[in-house]
């Protein structure tokens, strides 16, 4: 196989949406730090929504972006929590996959901590092939050709080989 056509994980983003700032958000940040050994970043609301009690610019969630070996390990760990099963609808047309876990205590090795509580989280995994740098570089930025973009079938095949998942 051509090494330029090998699919790899570019990054994995783990997000915990709390909906409010303060103590609950601090607990979610502590949980993400425990899982990933990396400091999370807060995300802020873009609009005011009085029904949910959210004002614009208020911290409502936290996320962590993992790359390289850390991303592979985190995806492997969280896939064990969902029983190594994904639906084909969780893969998008660009070959990325997003899935969630309802309670973090489903992840193997995680114990219930009464100080933190229970949180659900979303995981988005972005895939790319070698040569994707051309769309991010500063000088002579170009588009990735359609034939070189990652397709959802390639991503499904990669996930089945690397993580032994079942796609329903």
Helix, coil or strand: residue 59: strand
Binning the chain into helix, strand and coil, the percentages to the nearest 5 are 35, 25, 40
Q: Which residues contact 130 (CB under 8 A, 6 or more apart)?
A: 3, 4, 6, 8
pLDDT of the residue at 40? 92
- pLDDT single digits (tens) 61-108: 899 999 999 999 888 888 888 888 888 888 888 889 998 888 877 787
C-alpha–C-alpha distance, residues 155 and 168, integer Å: 14
Q: Is the pLDDT of residue 12 over 90?
A: yes
pLDDT at res. 125? 92
Residue 55 has pLDDT above 90, yes or no: no
**Across 50-67, average pLDDT:** 85
Q: How far apart are CA 138 and CA 156, in angstroms?
A: 32
3-state secondary structure of 3: helix
Comparing 133 with 82, the larger pLDDT belongs to: 133
Confidence of residue 51 (pLDDT cuts 50, 70, 90): confident
**What is the fold, at CATH topology level, of the domain defined by 3-167?**
50s Ribosomal Protein L5; Chain: A, (3.30.1440)
| CA–CA separation, 77 and 84 (whole Å) | 10
Give how far Cα 150 sits from Cα of 39, 44, 56, 126, Å: 30, 31, 36, 10
Residue 110 has pLDDT above 80, yes or no: no
How sure is the predictor about 141, in pLDDT bands with cuts at 50, 70 and 90? very high
Domain boundaries, the chain: 3-167
């Amino acid at each position: 196989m051509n090494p330029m056509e090998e699919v790899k994980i570019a990054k994995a983003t783990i997000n915990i949406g709390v909906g409010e700032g303060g103590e609950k958000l601090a607990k979610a940040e502590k949980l993400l730090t425990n899982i990933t050994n990396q400091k999370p970043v807060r995300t802020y609301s873009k609009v005011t929504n009085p029904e949910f009690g959210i004002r614009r610019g208020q911290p409502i969630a936290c996320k962590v972006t993992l790359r390289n070996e850390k991303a592979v390990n985190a995806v492997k760990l969280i896939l064990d929590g969902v029983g190594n099963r994904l639906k084909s609808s969780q893969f998008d047309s660009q070959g990325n996959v997003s899935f969630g876990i309802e309670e973090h205590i489903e992840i193997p090795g995680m114990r219930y901590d009464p100080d933190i509580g229970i949180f659900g989280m979303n995981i988005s995994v972005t895939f790319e092939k070698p040569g994707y740098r051309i769309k991010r570089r500063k000088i002579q930025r170009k588009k990735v050709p359609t034939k070189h973009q990652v397709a959802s079938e390639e991503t499904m095949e990669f996930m089945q080989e690397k993580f032994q998942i079942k796609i329903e």
